Amino acid sequence: MKRIVYICVVLIAFCTSCFEDESNLDIKELNPIRIENIDLQNKYFSLFMGDTLRIEPLVFCEGIPDTKLSYEWQLSGGTIVPTVIDSTMYLCAEITAPPYSTNGGYFLKFTITDETTGICRIESFNVEILSPYGEGILIADTKNNGLSSDISLVMSREVSSSISIDNSKINIFRDLWSKNNGSPLSGCVLDAVTSVYGTNRSLTVLTTEHLQRADNIDFINIPDEMDELLFNVVPPHIGHGYTSGAFVVYTSTRDELMCADGKLTARGVQNSGRKFGYTLYPAGISDYRVTLMYAPQYCPVYVYDELGKQMLFYDYSGCWAPQEQASGSKFDICDLSDYEPFYLAEMSSGVTLLTKQKSSGAYKALVMNKQSSNGPNYAKTIFDFSSATEIGNAKYFELNMLEDVVYYATDEKIYVTPLANINSKVQWEVPVGSGDKITGIKIYKWSGGQRKHAVDNGGEVEETFTTSKDRMIMISTYNEMTQEGKVTLVPIVTMGIGGLEQRQEFHVTLSGFGKILGIYKQNK
């Protein structure tokens, strides 16, 4: 038996030795694509929109020339389409995608291809894009005669409390609506307002085409907060285009009051309120048309009704017409039919309606007391500023709550006159031969910001900083030839006479805009 087994084993060995080994011994082992110099265990990056993202891996594949390796960095997620942002080994790209941090932010895919074999290695990263937008001013402009418009944000020490006085850098984030929504605002911006109450934040914009809203942290349009969708009960004048509009914030209850095509409506921003309510009608008034509106602090909102030739008021309880005024009042806010009001704001003496009297052609400032409720003593006094230089050529007006003066501008000059003693003087004018024309003036009336001006100290000029609030005027200009709009920030240095800083080195010019439509505060 053992002999038989032995013979079988010998025969098997012999047969096996007769077959030629035809297996392929020319096997080439593929070397892997290696990545060094970065931590692949922590693949998360966080940066501000507009910043440059840098990732510097060292990539190689043994036996493969560097020229045979190709690279692609692709960003996707959020609302953007997948976009290749770099095609080199070292990523260096400005991130222009909108702010996005949900679920770790955007998805960044790094693809390395060995072109000799077609084999790829893919690494993924998470990129959180934060909003760089902080406190400052919003500038609305148009570059095509109002067919569309956009909004830019300016952040600097003059308008932002978060920027120190030793930082002179001016940050301008241009055309934010286009950049974050893919297209500009339709129509011409009529007014805009930012409201912030806890986590209830919004930027509401009224144009000649639409009423729209965005989060003022990222400026991304909220699709379900537009035109009719912004109302619990849609008024008949909403959603069909607009010819006029304005916003104010009633501070005691944080109501956002809107005037669209002459009609008033409000929304409370407390308790996460997002929608406007009913159109407001004062008792006994079936129709009205508001053209001017101003909200003094801790007082009802003052509005002028052009249709009824009277003042109206709004507070948390609603809207009302004033009661009959006391006998002997210098003017009657219930009957302003002899006046053509053109500007409403506040100066030191009270809430003031600038008008031109129909019967005499005189320019009158009708000053009203600031009252907390309806009463017979709104009318306070009248100033006549008809003798102010070039007042008949004035196109733009402004008042300062710290002084009883009128700021007014022609096409090329800004005048200021005290009302108690008319003595108007030119305080600023466009550079001679520049082709610029003044298109608006507005005093910076918000907290936040420090502006620099000169102080004469014993014959020596020293620099000092003072709060910008009520002490800086913003002058808009436009050049028809170059189609460039500018905003010049000029300190107010002498209260009581509206004295502007004359040294131009203390003026700050913001340029590169279209025609300026409005300047608004960006709150945070």
Residue-wise pLDDT for 168-202, tens only, equals 999 999 999 998 899 999 999 999 999 988 889 99
Helical (H) or strand (E) element with 17: helix 2-18
Strand partners, 268: 255
Cβ-based neighbours of 482, under 8 Å, separated by 6 or more: 435
29 falls in which pLDDT band (50, 70, 90)?
Answer: low
As a whole number, mean pLDDT of residues 270-284 equals: 92
* pLDDT tens track for 298-344: 899 999 999 999 999 999 888 999 999 998 899 999 999 999 999 99
Q: Is the pLDDT reported for residue 118 higher than 80?
A: yes
Angle at 459 between CA 455 and CA 462, to 5 degrees: 30
- The separation between the first and the last C-alpha atoms of the chain, rounded to the nearest angstrom, is 99
Least-confidence region, from 5-19, 109-123, 155-169, 186-200: 5-19
450 falls in which pLDDT band (50, 70, 90)?
Answer: very high
Domains, the chain, with CATH or none: 33-130 (2.60.40.10), 135-187+400-524 (no CATH)
Contact 248, 293 (CB under 8 A): yes
Contact 194, 523 (CB under 8 A): yes
Contact 272, 317 (CB under 8 A): no
DSSP string, 346-397: EETTEEEEEEEETTT--EEEEEE---SS--S--EEEEEE-TTSTTGGG--EE
Least-confidence region, from 18-22, 38-42, 445-449, 468-472: 18-22
Best-predicted range by mean pLDDT (3-7, 24-28, 76-80, 500-504): 500-504
| pLDDT score at 1 | 46
* pLDDT tens track for 364-378: 999 999 988 888 899
Report the alpha-carbon distance of residue 427 to residue 414 in Å, rounded.
Answer: 6
Cβ-based neighbours of 406, under 8 Å, separated by 6 or more: 354, 365, 385, 388, 397, 398, 399, 416, 417, 419
- Rounded to 5 degrees, φ, ψ at 448 are 100, 125
As a whole number, mean pLDDT of residues 26-47 equals: 83
Handedness of CA 319, 321, 326, 330 (dihedral sign): positive
Q: What is the pTM of this model?
A: 0.82
As a whole number, mean pLDDT of residues 236-255 equals: 89
Report the alpha-carbon distance of residue 226 to residue 183 in Å, rounded.
Answer: 16
Cβ-based neighbours of 436, under 8 Å, separated by 6 or more: 430, 477, 478, 479, 486
19 falls in which pLDDT band (50, 70, 90)?
Answer: very low
CA torsion, ordered 184, 189, 195, 199, to nearest 10 deg: -10
Contact 262, 290 (CB under 8 A): yes
Q: Residue with structure tokens 């107010």?
A: 492
As a whole number, mean pLDDT of residues 26-31 equals: 63
| pLDDT score at 39 | 87
SS3 content of the chain, % helix, strand, coil (to 5): 10, 50, 45
